[in-house]
Amino acid sequence: MANERVTEDLVDGLLRKLGYYDDENAIIVEKQQSAVQAIRTALSKASKTGKGGVGYPEFIITAPGTPDIVVIVECKAEVSKHESKDRDKPANYAVDGVLHYARHLSPNYTVIAIAVSGTEKASLWSFFLMPKGESEPRDLLAPHGAPVEHLIPMDDLIRAASFDPLVHRQRERDLILFSQEMHEFMRDEAEMSEQEKPLAVAGTLIALGNEVFAKTYDAYPAKELPAFWMQTIKAEVQKAAIPVPKVENMTQPFTNIEVQPELRKPTKGYPKGLLNEIVRLLADRVLPFMTIYHDYDVVGQFYGEFLKYTGGDGKGLGIVLTPKHVTELFSLIPNLNKDDVVVDPCAGTGGFLISAMMQMAKTATTQTELQSIKRDRLIGIEQRPQMYALAASNMILRGDGKANLYQGSCFDTAIVKAVKEHVSSADAPLRPNVGLINPPYAKSKSDLSELRFVENMLDMLDKGGTGVAIVPVSCATASSAEKTNIMAKHTLEAVMSMPPELFYPVGVVTCIMVFKAGIPHAVSNKKSWFGYWRDDAFIKVKNLGRVDHHKTWPAIRDRWIEAWRNREVHPGESVTAMVGPKDEWVAEAYMETDYSSLSQKDLERVLLDYALFVLKGSQPEEDAD
Amino acid sequence: MQRLDDIFHLRYGHSLELNALKRVHAPEGVNFVSRAMGNNGVTARVDVKVAPAKAGELSVALGGNGVLSTFVQPEPFVCGRDVMILTPIEPAMGIAEKLWWARCIWENRYRFSYGRQANRTLGSLLVPDAAPEWVQQTPLPTHDGLAKSSASPLALTDPHGQHWSDFTLGEIFDIKKGKRLTKAERVPGKTRFVSASEKNNGITDMNDVPALFPAGVLTVVYNGNSVGHAFYQDEPFFASDDVNVLLPNGPVSRWAQLFVAAIIKHGRTRFTYGYKWTLARMKQTVIRLPANGNGEPDWGYMEAVMRGLPFSAAIDDRP
């Protein structure tokens, strides 16, 4: 009878060859048992006989940099024992066995399960993925979609697993829940104000980008860590090559955190101080997402969720944060590509710029083009110092773009001039041709109405450029001087009515306006397109906010964007109309109601309601009880 | 198609502030119509000096959650803010036709939201040229038809007298808790989902889940603002964990159960957010019911009382 040891040695040899043993800190290969308590516990009742004893997979491989993924390997000596027909004999077959173990681990981990049988001469390999929270295995696919068939380096395994949409989704969920945990920790333990919380997170993430800080922060006593933290942030910001006055601007808000007395006090529960705990939590739970996932928006999501719960009412910094799927729409409506230059005069945390960067990067083919996008083609203005610091941090965390962030009012003539005369690093003029804006809503002074911001943005753009704005729907329905002003200079291309609860929990009904800059509406002399984008099929889920629960968003998004780009008219969805500044700029005003669906049954129901009301003696409900 | 103001005279309502008005009970005063969607738009009964709108005129909510809720008001009424009053240009218009137009107006509600009220544009709404033939012929359910009782009236005996006796709910019912099913887990379907609501017989949703309880039992909300509202369920259903289900220990008719529901609801005021009507407490709860000579609940008598009440005929043929 063949010896299972031979198969194990085969795997061991391959692991060695593929670098699994090269860095003991980066990859931990264990046999039969793991030192990680959570894995031990999960396997403690996982015996393959099903009698509740301990389970012992041949190899357990973990990477501390990716704490949510575990690789397990199960070996069988004979190829005939690779897999049973129903995969239900874990004691005798490799595939059955490894899936059995995976099921015990998958409540807490995303499991990459590998089954091996045979010898060096002839061996069979199967690779499975069981995303966290699932109990059915899926084939492990490489990022380009082909199934994994041979043992590959650990990094590639992790990348393959991260590519799986279910894993991705689960991680986003974990991140949201973690952001809530973090919020509570900062509120209850650290007594931090609403403004400080996001700054502490942003600063820490920047500091963690510094390898020395990431490796040594734990050695600093509670009293000294804040100073080291601040010093690292300054150093990192300087490294990002921001002009000196901007460094001051940007780092100043962080000093408030540095001097927070609660953070530097060692307590019973946290002898190294609360800042240490914050850094540790972010290093363990968030950093892995940023380093493994080169897909940017995981952190954007974190910010969004964090700010939402910060402040309790979602307005910690007096901002209405744009939901992520709307920032995505904003990058699609103007059909962004690598040659565009984008400006956001009310950048906030930089959501539009990041999503624009992602969309533009998709069309870039060379490193130079990518560089040009990040360095020259994203311009932001933000007035509040704290928000500015957040936006700049956000851009730094994504590699670049920050040099073109201005701190100040977007009505400041010097800033407007600088934006209009923006040049590339090679000094070629690059006036922005796309403007994206979510202006502050309902500033009390009438001269700061939302449309003034929009007009100001449109004036910055190159002739023929595209301006996209999301504003309260009253801007579109009420007649105002701003509407006249805008139409005198620019063309109203389209208005889309957005879902009423889009900004939940903030109650404001909005619409998106799209303009062509620099060409008076009367000159264009054409109909505008009105979309009825009232249902994005998002639903409110406890603890998660408004989410794409049924995974229908990509289809809806594509339908909307396609209809807009081709100016399609569908009954009940979109309509075109010639409008002027005195008219209402919304689809609702021009769409036709379909009365043919009104049936006798509808009327019977109405009659019954009326009869019942009369029957109750038309008493108000509160008195009827 | 024609404009709405081709068929109706439109005028702004009284725009009264409810908190400045004196509340009264019928038959005094008049109905106060606000932007509410339920109860024909009527939210209070008030005493006012102004001349009310006439019976038979229509009220239309111009904003708020119930924007474009349109009702025919059977009595004179006054309005809160953002309510418009519509009078048919053709004075002979019948109730059924008015209700049909009301429904046509309501069909346009997708056009409006908090951000876009109907104040400016209501008159320009496009509606069909005429109501279809069948509208005139659709009968209006009548008060008399609905209010009939199923048997002759029977006087209720004195609850403090010798014909009534105390029972703990636990001895006459097998009480079970519903099951948690979060909104995130629910998928639209055909099973009634009974939850913490005092409206629509406690049914808040229709879901794709197997029924948890059979028909012919009572549900009682144990948690939340609607605590103590008891309903008789005539179809199998799924109960949420905010609901306790009372399964009779023996055969108890629907009528008798409805009687018990009324008694249970009567005792609901003792319970609040802080003091929930939990399963344990509900089992211990003592209620007073008519009893027979053997000290058992007199189900027959309860049924007879219920069947003698107005409206009972309307549900006589239900299971």
Partners of residue A595 in chain B, C-beta under 8 Å? 104, 107, 127-128
- The 10s digit of each residue's pLDDT in A343-380 is 999 988 788 988 898 889 888 888 888 888 888 899 99
pLDDT at A292: 61
pLDDT band at A494 (very low <50, low <70, confident <90, very high): very high
SS3 B286: strand
pLDDT exceeds 70 at position A619 = no
Average pLDDT score over chain A: 84
What is the Cα Rg of chain B in Å? Answer: 24
pLDDT band at B98 (very low <50, low <70, confident <90, very high): very high
Of A189-198, A380-389, B83-92, the range with the highest mean pLDDT is B83-92
Are B96 and A607 within 8 A, CB to CB? yes
Are B96 and A549 within 8 A, CB to CB? no
**Closest chain A residue by Cα to residue B46:** A620
Provide CB contacts within 8 A for B101, sequence distance 6+.
B7, B8, B58, B70, B127, B131
pLDDT at A478: 84
- What is the arithmetic mean of pLDDT over A328-350? 92
Distance from CA of A603 to the nearest CA of B (A): 6
A448: which 2 tokens? 């700061």
Burial class of residue B154 in the structure, from the number of CB atoms within 10 Å of its CB (0-12 exposed, 13-18 middle, 19+ buried): middle
Distance from CA of A594 to the nearest CA of B (A): 8
Are A610 and B95 within 8 A, CB to CB? yes
Are A614 and B32 within 8 A, CB to CB? no
> In whole angstroms, what is the distance from residue B76 CA to residue A87 CA?
75
pLDDT at B31: 93
Give this complex's ipTM.
0.71
**Closest chain B residue by Cα to residue A587:** B111
Partners of residue B75 in chain A, C-beta under 8 Å? 618
- The 10s digit of each residue's pLDDT in B207-265 is 999 999 999 999 999 888 888 999 999 999 999 999 999 999 989 999 999 999 999 98
Q: Is A623 on the interface with B (CB under 8 A)?
A: yes
> In whole angstroms, what is the distance from residue A489 CA to residue A520 CA?
4
pLDDT at A387: 81
Distance from CA of B294 to the nearest CA of A (A): 34
Percent of chain A scored above 70 by pLDDT? Answer: 90
Q: Which of B39, B43, B185 would best serve as a mutation to test chain A binding (most A beta carbons within 10 A)?
A: B39
Q: Count of CB contacts below 8 A, A vs B? A: 119
| Across A34-48, A208-222, A311-325, A485-499, least confident range | A311-325
Place of tokens 């041709």: A433
SS3 A103: helix
Place of tokens 């264009």: A524
Partners of residue B32 in chain A, C-beta under 8 Å? 620
pLDDT at A300: 59
pLDDT exceeds 90 at position A192 = no
Give the DSSP H/E element, type plus range, for residue A101: helix A94-105
Hey, which residues 438-497 in chain A have their CB within 8 Å of chain B?
A: 472-474, 477
Are B107 and A595 within 8 A, CB to CB? yes
Count CB neighbours of A558 within 10 A. 11
| CA dihedral of A610, A612, A618, A624, whole degrees rounded to 10 | -140
- What is the arithmetic mean of pLDDT over A245-251? 78
Partners of residue B111 in chain A, C-beta under 8 Å? 588-589, 591
* CB nearest A541 (choices: B110, B116, B184): B184
Are B143 and A607 within 8 A, CB to CB? no
pLDDT exceeds 80 at position A558 = yes
pLDDT exceeds 90 at position A523 = yes
pLDDT at A541: 79
> In whole angstroms, what is the distance from residue A511 CA to residue A587 CA?
10
A321: which 2 tokens? 């944060």
Are A608 and B141 within 8 A, CB to CB? yes
Percent of chain A scored above 90 by pLDDT? Answer: 28
Are A620 and B72 within 8 A, CB to CB? no
Provide CB contacts within 8 A for A566, sequence distance 6+.
none
Are A615 and B146 within 8 A, CB to CB? yes
Partners of residue B129 in chain A, C-beta under 8 Å? none
**Closest chain A residue by Cα to residue B108:** A593
pLDDT band at A91 (very low <50, low <70, confident <90, very high): confident
Partners of residue A613 in chain B, C-beta under 8 Å? 39-40, 42, 74
Partners of residue A592 in chain B, C-beta under 8 Å? 126
Partners of residue B31 in chain A, C-beta under 8 Å? 618, 620
A623: which 2 tokens? 């008195």
Q: Is A599 on the interface with B (CB under 8 A)?
A: no
> In whole angstroms, what is the distance from residue B209 CA to residue A519 CA?
57
pLDDT exceeds 90 at position A383 = no
Give the DSSP H/E element, type plus range, for residue A290: helix A287-292
pLDDT exceeds 60 at position A442 = yes
- The 10s digit of each residue's pLDDT in A136-191 is 888 888 877 788 888 888 888 888 887 777 787 777 777 778 887 887 888 788 88
The one-character DSSP state at A308 is: H
The Cα diameter of chain B in Å comes to: 72
* CB nearest B115 (choices: A472, A540, A592): A472
More confident residue, B91 or B143: B91
Q: Is A615 on the interface with B (CB under 8 A)?
A: yes
- What is the arithmetic mean of pLDDT over B183-206? 89
Partners of residue A509 in chain B, C-beta under 8 Å? 113-116
| Across A183-197, A214-228, A305-319, B43-57, least confident range | A305-319
Q: Model's pTM, two decimal places?
A: 0.72
Partners of residue B74 in chain A, C-beta under 8 Å? 610, 613-614, 618
pLDDT at A625: 42
Distance from CA of A597 to the nearest CA of B (A): 10
Q: Where are the beta strands (DSSP E) in chain B?
A: 2-3, 8-12, 22-23, 30-33, 42-47, 58-61, 70-72, 77-79, 83-88, 126-127, 164-168, 173-177, 188-194, 203-207, 217-221, 230-233, 237-239, 243-248, 286-290
Partners of residue B95 in chain A, C-beta under 8 Å? 610
Distance from CA of B272 to the nearest CA of A (A): 18
